[in-house]
Amino acid sequence: MVRRWISAEPGLANLSLAEFTPPAPGSGELTVEVRAAALNFSDLLMIDDKYQVRPPRPFTPGQEIAGIVTAAGEGARHRVGDRVAGKLLWGGFATHATMRDDMAIPVAEGSSFAQAAALPVVYTTAYVALTECTKLREGETVLVHAAAGGVGLAAVQIAAARGARVIASAGSGDKRDLALRNGAIAAIDPVEANWSAKVKELTRARGADIIVDPVGGDVTAESLRAIAMDGRLLIVGFAGGEIPKIPANRLLLKRAAAIGVYWNHDTDGEMLARVTAAMTADLASGAIRPVVDCRAGLEALPEALADLGERRTVGKVIIEIGGDA
């Protein structure tokens, strides 16, 4: 049965599952039989009309998929039967989806679709942050906030694989343990008062050379108390719900930089080609190992989105859709 989730009105309660006929792919497009779809906070924002991208309703949410090409439009590099993963603007929470060919990442035989679906957004973002927006150097200390979340756990793995000393920040013991199992050498609780002092203690008063911040709000301000001289604060997002006002005096006193982490397939093709090459090589070698929270069946989407919104998840939440994910 060919089905997709439809958002006709804002709110998870207004999602409905319906049958549809997938359109034929246009020039430079692919039709993909979706085997796994990944969830992002931006999906929740888009469903609630709070994201910068606002599709015309009704629309199918979902921005990250992996599966098998079933049709290829004129000029596409990929062919029917190819295993691919990729980012969509929307449309991924379905049995079949249309993907831009230039946004497709090859998925090697033997790699699971569930793990591959975790790559296009969060791992790409973490690679862009640590290898493009700044150049992580071996031996540097990296503080990663929300270290058990999608971008956070990816950043922990990438930084550790490149010889960094990673300090993980996460709000529960289970989440801190997960980050420690994935390469962090220490973990802190961001709920504790003056947690920045713990970072200073762990770094012998120097502070963190790089801080990966997908949270925003008070976490960002406190992070600048824990940043090293010539440190780099990487602003990834605002999962905490508040856009921070960055105290510029702290940047000045530490000769530090606040760097926005952003990428776009239309303008960053060369950069993303470098990132994709590094990411696929690291996946093949085992340097990165996406941690996925798999939910069975397309019907599991509303509950999975609710769990994501309430921070009841770790790693990357994946919906497995038919076939072998």
Q: Among candidates 70, 136, 129, which has minimal Cα distance to 98?
A: 70
Domain of 30, CATH number, reads 3.90.180.10
Sequence-ordered list of residues with C-beta below 8 angstroms from that of 299, at least 6 positions apart, any chain = 17
Whether residue 42 is found in the same domain as residue 101: yes
Does a structural domain hold residue 283? no
Does a structural domain hold residue 270? no
Whether 112 contacts 119, CB under 8 Å: no
Per-residue pLDDT, averaged over 245-266, amounts to: 95
Whether residue 152 is found in the same domain as residue 83: no
Whether residue 247 is found in the same domain as residue 306: no
Query: Could you tell me where the beta strands, DSSP code E, fall in 39-107?
Result: 64-72, 83-87, 96-100, 104-106
Structure tokens at 269: 């093709």
Does a structural domain hold residue 85? yes
Residue 104 CA, distance from chain mean position? 16
pLDDT, position 218:
93
3-class DSSP state of 48: coil
Domain of 237, CATH number, reads 3.40.50.720
Cross-strand pairs, 3:
19
Whether residue 167 is found in the same domain as residue 294: no
Q: Is the pLDDT of residue 16 over 90?
A: yes
pLDDT tens track for 121-139: 999 999 999 999 999 999 9
Whether residue 245 is found in the same domain as residue 130: yes
Q: Is the pLDDT of residue 325 over 80?
A: no
Which residue's entry shows tokens 């694989």? Answer: 161
Whether residue 126 is found in the same domain as residue 254: yes
Highest mean pLDDT among 200-204, 306-310, 319-323: 200-204
Whether residue 202 is found in the same domain as residue 300: no
pLDDT, position 7:
98
Does a structural domain hold residue 279? no
Does a structural domain hold residue 268? no
pLDDT band at 324 (very low <50, low <70, confident <90, very high): low
Does a structural domain hold residue 325? no
3-class DSSP state of 65: strand
Q: What is the mean pLDDT of the chain?
A: 94
Structure tokens at 3: 């089905």
Q: What is the dihedral of CA 219, 222, 228, 232, to 10 degrees?
A: 40
User: What is the Cα–Cα distance from 192 to 212, expressed in whole angstroms?
Assistant: 19
Per-residue pLDDT, averaged over 303-324, amounts to: 87
Whether residue 147 is found in the same domain as residue 134: yes
Does a structural domain hold residue 163? yes
Structural domain of residue 30, as residue ranges?
A: 3-118+290-320
Domain count, the chain: 2
Per-residue pLDDT, averaged over 62-71, amounts to: 97
pLDDT tens track for 149-172: 889 999 999 999 999 999 999 999
Whether residue 86 is found in the same domain as residue 110: yes
pLDDT tens track for 167-203: 999 999 999 999 999 999 999 999 998 999 999 999 9
Does a structural domain hold residue 72? yes
Structure tokens at 240: 């905490």
Whether residue 153 is found in the same domain as residue 216: yes
* Last residue in a domain, options 212, 243, 260: 260
Whether residue 180 is found in the same domain as residue 108: no
Q: Among candidates 165, 225, 204, which has minimal Cα distance to 233?
A: 225
Q: Report the predicted TM-score, pTM, of the whole model to 2 decimal places.
A: 0.88
**How are beta strands 165-169 and 186-188 bridged, if at all?**
parallel
Whether residue 81 is found in the same domain as residue 146: no
